[in-house]
Amino acid sequence: MTTMTEASVREFKMPDVGEGLTEAEILKWYVQPGDTVTDGQVVCEVETAKAAVELPIPYDGVVRALHFPEGTTVDVGTSIIAVDVAGGAGPVAGVPAQAPAQPQASPEEARPKAEATSAGSVKPEAAKPAGSGRQPVLVGYGVAASSTKRRPRKGPEITVPRVPETLQAELNGHGGPAAVRERPLAKPPVRKLAKDLGVDLATVVPSGPDGVITREDVHAAAAPAAVSAPTAPEPAAPAPVTAPAAAPVASYDTARETRIPVKGVRKATAAAMVGSAFTAPHVTEFVTIDVTRTLKLVEELKRDKDMEGLRVNPLLLIAKALLVAVKRHPEINASWDEAAQEIVVKHYVNLGIAAATPRGLLVPNIKDAHAKTLPQLAESLGELVSTAREGRTSPAAMQGGTVTITNVGVFGVDTGTPILNSGESAILAIGAIKLQPWVHKGKVKPRQVTTLALSFDHRLVDGELGSRVLADVAAILEQPKRLITWG
């Protein structure tokens, strides 16, 4: 990987596209070295532990280098693409450069310029014609000195082959005289952390996107041993990606076994399930019910003009039944705060729907589902499922859930013992609906029957509360008119 040293080159780093994510896999590059990009243009698609996300570039320029190939997992904060915001005057990595009229300056010739810049007496753009580039203000941004699109070239640029890390930080707008800012860029939680640790943000070298100071930067500044090592790790980043992959190849028979790297959604799901299963004491209760009347109501709603164009199925009425049960027993809609030793009762319901997708199990949720009418709930449910199956679910859609429904019946399974979604206290599993003999009005008749299973966190949900919630859902599905009388 080539390290760019020109002042006009901006390094775009892997951002944190979700809450607390630490890495992402580059799925696809939409640009190549030499391509012109504009502010807001999508340059790549990455997959995090929660979703596939397209990343836009925050400035105009010409792509100089792609630091990682497709399929590489990259840590948040690592530079992934270099862009020449001055218009691509320098050579492009991976693209042959046109020969200049005179050779590049030697290290001996470049050293005095570097020393002068480090001392603050000479600016990086001093050797360029006036109005030929951008003045570094923030990382990845600049103030255009001219409104013209094509930059006049009056002579070959003098590029510096090697520049000390402290000087490179100045050229990128990270620190030093060239990047004096009245207020360092940092989010409120990071500012609070800096205040608690006694760290002056003005002295912290940022590593986040666009010069934003991260929590790691503050911790590094608080530790004296780490103060001198916050620079970008791009030269060494690709090495650990390929090294571990080669070792297991010789340790097993590839004709008899296949080893799949654990990453992305699978990695996040595994961590969440292990954390939930061994943190929250699970209790699961079951009930088998006659849902014939509910299925008849589904058919009637499909013909209702108010539901025209909407997806109406048993899942819709089961979701509504659970929302009514939560309204009648709000204590089930809660979470356990271990640090504060508190039970947090939510006065809203973000209803999670477990969806099997090509990327693995996702649990997006419908925000404020409790406040939606039946047509609104049907619309939200349809959008949620289709978006998840297309792989377009955003990280925000999978955050903040309070209770969840998982429909294992679509696979022909009678029921299951679902594991709680992390941070929630209850999850309802729906079994397959089958025509079975059932005693109805004193006679054995064929009826549509299913089994429901409710798992709950026994730390905050007692057996009585869990049983009442499950019994209410069952009662509504047996007699759907209770949606009106209880709702």
pLDDT in tens, 6-36: 678 999 998 876 655 678 888 899 999 999 9
Q: Terminal CA-to-CA distance of the chain, rounded, Å?
A: 62
Let me know: does 418 contact 431? Beta carbons within 8 Å. Answer: no
Mean pLDDT of 109-128: 43
Q: Crossing angle of helices 188-197/215-222, nearest 10°? A: 10
Confidence of residue 360 (pLDDT cuts 50, 70, 90): confident
Q: Work out whether strand 443-457 and strand 426-430 pair parallel, antiparallel, or are unpaired.
A: antiparallel
Let me know: does 434 contact 410? Beta carbons within 8 Å. Answer: no
pLDDT of residue 302: 94
Asked if residue 486 has pLDDT above 50, the reply is yes
**Residue in 219, 282, 329, 458 annotated catalytic:** 458
Distances 63 to 81, 171, 324 between C-alpha atoms, Å:
7, 18, 54
Let me know: does 395 contact 48? Beta carbons within 8 Å. Answer: yes
More confidently predicted of 434 and 24: 434
Let me know: does 112 contact 118? Beta carbons within 8 Å. Answer: no
User: Which are the contacts of 146, defined by CB distance < 8 A and separation ≥ 6?
Assistant: 131, 132
The verdict on whether 458 is a catalytic residue reads: yes
pLDDT of residue 134: 40
pLDDT of residue 139: 35
Token readout for 124 is 């990086």
Asked if residue 329 has pLDDT above 90, the reply is yes
Token readout for 225 is 């041993």
What's the mean per-residue pLDDT of the chain? 77
